[in-house]
Amino acid sequence: MFKKVALVLAAAIGLAAVGYASMAMTVVMRSDPGTVLTMNASDRLPLTARVMAELRVQSWDGCPPSDRNVSALGQTLRGYGLEGFDNERVLETAHHLISLGCDVNEAGATGQAPIHEAILYNETEVVRFLLANGANPAVKITVPSTNSSESLQHYDGMTAMQFALELDNRAGGKAAPRSEIVLLLQRHSS
C-alpha cells in the first residue's frame, strides 16, 4: 500500500512540475522582449521561469525590438538597483544585448539614453559599465517636441556631464551627490 501511495504522489508531483514548466515556457515564449528581459533579471520569479527567460534571451540573434518606448538595453538596465532584481544578472544581460547589436546610446521615449537614466538614478556601476561598453558621454538628451513636460524640456540638449551636474544643483544637497559619476565622466572625457 505504501508503495502505491508513494508512486501516486511521485506521479502527481512529476505532472505538476511538467505542468508548471509548460506554463512557464508558454508565458516566456509569448511575452514581448521587455517582459522576458524583466523576467530574466528578476529574483522573485521561480527558477524555471528565469531559466526559460534566459534561454530565450540567449536565442535572440539581434537586438530585440521593444514595445515599451524604451530600448531593450534601457529596459534591462532599469532593473539595476531595484529590489527583486539581481544586479549581476542585469549587467550580464545588458552585455549580451550589446553583443547582439543593441545601441548603447539609443534614446527612449523621454529622449534619454541609458547613460542619462543611470545618472538620474545615481547608479555609478551602471555608468561605469556603459562607459566601458562604448557609451558616449557627449550624447545629448533629445526630448521629443511632442513631450510637453517642462521638467523634461529643461534637460533637453544636455550631455551626461551637464545632466549630472544639473541634477546635483537642483537637489541642493538633499539627495546623494553624483560626485563619483562626475569623476567617471571627467576621466572618460580626458
Rounded mean pLDDT, 62-81: 86
Confidence of residue 173 (pLDDT cuts 50, 70, 90): low
Rounded mean pLDDT, 16-38: 63
Rounded mean pLDDT, 104-117: 92
Q: Answer yes or no: is pLDDT of 171 > 80.
A: no
More confident residue, 64 or 8: 64
Contact 89, 97 (CB under 8 A): no
What is the Cα–Cα distance from 124 to 179, expressed in whole angstroms? 9
Which residue, 44, 48, 28, is CA-closest to 86? 44
DSSP E strands, the chain: none
All three cell numbers of 125: 556601476
Q: Which residue has the cell 523621454?
A: 110
pLDDT of residue 1: 64
What three-state secondary structure class fits 165?
helix
User: Which CATH number does 104-190 carry?
Assistant: 1.25.40.20
What is the Cα–Cα distance from 29 to 56, expressed in whole angstroms? 7
More confident residue, 8 or 178: 178
Q: Which residue has the cell 545629448?
A: 140
Domain ranges in the chain are 1-103, 104-190
> pLDDT > 70: what percent of the chain?
81
pLDDT of residue 119: 95
Rounded mean pLDDT, 132-148: 88
What is the Cα–Cα distance from 123 to 80, expressed in whole angstroms? 8
pLDDT of residue 11: 47
